[in-house]
Amino acid sequence: MTRQMVHFFLNSCYLSGRKKPLERNRILFSCLNRESSLETEDSLLKILVQAITQTNQTFHLVLCCQKDRKIHFISLLSKIYPKHSYSVCCENSSTFYSFLGRADIIFYDTVPPEIFAPRTRQLLIYYATTHQSLLRLPFLMADFILGYSKEQIVSVEQNLRLNGLLRNRCLYSKYPNKICDITVMIKILTSYLSEQYFEKQKTSSKKKVLIFCSDLRRNGITTSLLNLMQLASSKEFEYYFTFREESLLDDPTRLSLLPEQSPLLPIYGALNCGSFLETVCHSLYIRFHISLPIIRTLTQQIYSRAYERFFGKIDPDTVIHFTGYSPEFLLLFQSAKAKRILFVHNDMKEEYEEKHNFHLNIFTFACRNYEVVAAVSQAVKDSLKKIDPHLTNVTIIENAHDDARIRALAQQPFTLDKNSSIHISLEQLEKLLSEGKKKFITICRYSAEKGQKKLIHAFMTIHEKHPDTALIIIGGYGVLYEELVQYCDTLNCREDIVLIRNISNPFAILKQCDLFVLPSDREPLGLVLLEADSLGIPIAATDIPGSGDFLKRYGGYLVPNNENGLILAMEDFLAGKIKPLGIHFEEYNRKIVLDFWNLIN
């Protein structure tokens, strides 16, 4: 039998056991880590046996170990547990996986299989062994944690900002160098025997809001999230952030952008762990976009268990998928027993047709089934009709804007980051900024729909008439940067065009420019418009839905979405016809924050 077939067989054994009623007084004791010391007088196994004899209850003990230790543990249990029923099984056996699904008390000393998700009324005890990566252990699944010092637990909590969440579950022996003692073990068994223990305990008066924040790369969606969190802090809500652990391995410092007091819940390992049939349906749904009801149902079963695995003990009141782009998190949050909110930041139908950068079927299903779809503008709300004209759960929550932060960043000196790119020297850029030339600037992703090439063509015409002008283009990620660099190097005005990629603080440059130009073909709102206005920079933009609607509200300057329109914008600015908007951001943000609080309350 191949390894993959063994994997599916064991998963099926677990799921079969999980479908059965929990077996009362059945203890599954996992000692799969060879560092576990279970033979000494003060071992956890012996303490468990002593505690059982004092509860006046009959427990069946199932001990799981490596195959080469099975005879040893049978002999050990015959000596210390002779009057009670017990059995010994091996790791990666059908017996172990079956009991993992139906035993109602589980002690485990390693990371459990990825398919495992705790059931209601399953009591889980994690006990410490050496040589474990603390940050990867599934502590949040456990009811009790044994064997870690307070310093170790505090270290984990500080890394993940868990605010005492783990310490509340830790039980410490009163004896030095002991994982556990009889008093602690009796407390565990007493909790299990108490019906009140399994009733939902309200751990905080705050409402818990779980937010998928993606990888926090520098883009408008990340900025929108950070602005909202900066302004929407409240004593009524506690915000938790979840993300794929590997998505931030290239730069974990991006996590520091999130609010300092908010817990972090990284997702690691496979989310799509299921039976053979579930896995086939998952592949049909994800890879081949076949969305028959039975296929969706079996796929969703996978993500329902994953949700319980990672968030079951958190029990959030609201979950927010803030990006709209990750299908696995759309499916994960679909299983939440909480209010589900999906934010939409773009015309997703056009995004899909142009880039195929997300799963349209899963996104459409989420739009229909989440309680609320929050569009960032009227244009985005209107665009959702292309996906489903019958949606009735769409509301508008515009992007918040942290005006004070932008003005503060603009006062800092300009610096390049280690991953920044600039196609001229830093000295040339500093010289250009200090000159008296009129400087046009745009800030956007290096992507075709952002219209940078159209802007460059328009600037070429302006530069012929007005040689004392310059164009600066700043962007984050995007595929067009190298292409635009090569193109600009062929132009006569190349010394007055600057292309910059990946700088964390573009506002130190923005404040030194004279006109912000937004040449986009598609823009749901355009946070850069608000950022430019914070610094008093006049704005000209193409007249398109979304950003165009926003500028009309504030009397902004709009031109036709073509090269001639952009030429007209720059000519009119040089003629003194374009002035700053002067938006009152305190009033602007107040409504957005109140709308958001009402949404999650």
Mean of pLDDT over the chain: 91
Q: Are residues 376 and 295 in the same domain?
A: yes
**Domain limits at 70?**
3-198
- With beta carbons less than 8 A apart as the criterion, state whether 87 and 1 touch: no
Per the domain annotation, does 402 fall within a domain? no
Per the domain annotation, does 7 fall within a domain? yes
Q: Are residues 171 and 216 in the same domain?
A: no
pLDDT digits (tens, 9 = 90+) for 226-281: 999 999 999 899 999 999 999 998 889 899 999 998 999 999 888 999 999 999 99
SS3 assignment, position 428: helix
Mean pLDDT calculated for residue range 185-209: 83
Question: In which band, very low, low, confident or very high, does the pLDDT at 525 lie, cut at 50, 70 and 90?
Answer: confident
Q: Are residues 379 and 455 in the same domain?
A: no
Per the domain annotation, does 403 fall within a domain? no
pLDDT digits (tens, 9 = 90+) for 495-517: 899 999 988 899 999 999 999 99
Per the domain annotation, does 329 fall within a domain? yes
- Total domains, the chain: 3
Mean pLDDT calculated for residue range 430-439: 91
CATH of the domain at 131: 3.40.50.2000
Of 365, 396, 427, which one is at a domain's C-terminal end? 396
Which pLDDT score, from 0 to 100, does residue 321 have? 98
Share of the chain above pLDDT 90, in %: 66
Per the domain annotation, does 14 fall within a domain? yes
Q: Does position 99 have pLDDT exceeding 80, yes or no?
A: yes
Which pLDDT score, from 0 to 100, does residue 42 have? 64
CB count within 10 Å of CB 71 equals 11
Q: Does position 36 have pLDDT exceeding 90, yes or no?
A: no
Q: Are residues 491 and 570 in the same domain?
A: yes
- With beta carbons less than 8 A apart as the criterion, state whether 264 and 238 touch: no
Cα 592 to Cα 62, 204, 210: the distances in Å are 56, 26, 19
Q: Does position 539 have pLDDT exceeding 80, yes or no?
A: yes
Per the domain annotation, does 509 fall within a domain? yes
Q: Are residues 176 and 254 in the same domain?
A: no
Question: In which band, very low, low, confident or very high, does the pLDDT at 464 lie, cut at 50, 70 and 90?
Answer: very high
pLDDT digits (tens, 9 = 90+) for 386-413: 999 999 999 999 999 999 999 999 999 8
* Vertex 255 angle, CA 272 and 333, to 5°: 35
Element (H, E) at 381: helix 378-383
Question: In which band, very low, low, confident or very high, does the pLDDT at 445 lie, cut at 50, 70 and 90?
Answer: confident
Q: Please, what sign has the CA dihedral across residues 277, 280, 276, 122?
A: negative
Q: Are residues 287 and 193 in the same domain?
A: no
Q: Which is more confident, 356 or 567?
A: 567
pLDDT digits (tens, 9 = 90+) for 137-192: 888 999 999 988 888 899 899 999 998 889 989 999 888 778 889 999 999 998 88
Question: In which band, very low, low, confident or very high, does the pLDDT at 562 lie, cut at 50, 70 and 90?
Answer: very high
Q: Are residues 132 and 243 in the same domain?
A: no
Question: In which band, very low, low, confident or very high, does the pLDDT at 428 lie, cut at 50, 70 and 90?
Answer: confident
Q: Does position 76 have pLDDT exceeding 90, yes or no?
A: no
Q: How many whole angstroms separate alpha carbon 419 and alpha carbon 53?
A: 63
Residues 6+ apart with CB under 8 A from 288: none
CB count within 10 Å of CB 179 equals 22
Q: How many whole angstroms separate alpha carbon 375 and alpha carbon 524?
A: 9
Question: In which band, very low, low, confident or very high, does the pLDDT at 200 lie, cut at 50, 70 and 90?
Answer: low
Of 396, 429, 448, which one is at a domain's C-terminal end? 396
Burial 398-430 (b: 16+ CB within 10 A, else e): bbbbbbebbeebbeeebeeeeeeebbbeeeebe
Q: Are residues 111 and 186 in the same domain?
A: yes
The residues that bridge with 541 in the sheet, in sequence order, are 518, 558
Q: How many whole angstroms separate alpha carbon 65 and alpha carbon 67?
A: 6
Which pLDDT score, from 0 to 100, does residue 489 have? 87
Per the domain annotation, does 589 fall within a domain? no
Mean pLDDT calculated for residue range 84-98: 93
Q: Are residues 426 and 553 in the same domain?
A: yes
Per the domain annotation, does 111 fall within a domain? yes
Which pLDDT score, from 0 to 100, does residue 177 have? 76
Of 364, 396, 428, which one is at a domain's C-terminal end? 396
Residue type, 6: V
pLDDT digits (tens, 9 = 90+) for 288-345: 999 999 999 999 999 999 999 999 888 999 999 999 999 999 999 999 999 999 999 9
Share of the chain above pLDDT 70, in %: 97
Burial 93-129 (b: 16+ CB within 10 A, else e): ebbbbbbbbbbbbbbbbbbbbbbbbbbeebbbbbbbb
Q: Are residues 267 and 166 in the same domain?
A: no
Q: Are residues 71 and 125 in the same domain?
A: yes
Q: Does position 82 have pLDDT exceeding 80, yes or no?
A: no
- With beta carbons less than 8 A apart as the criterion, state whether 93 and 113 touch: no
Q: Are residues 173 and 260 in the same domain?
A: no
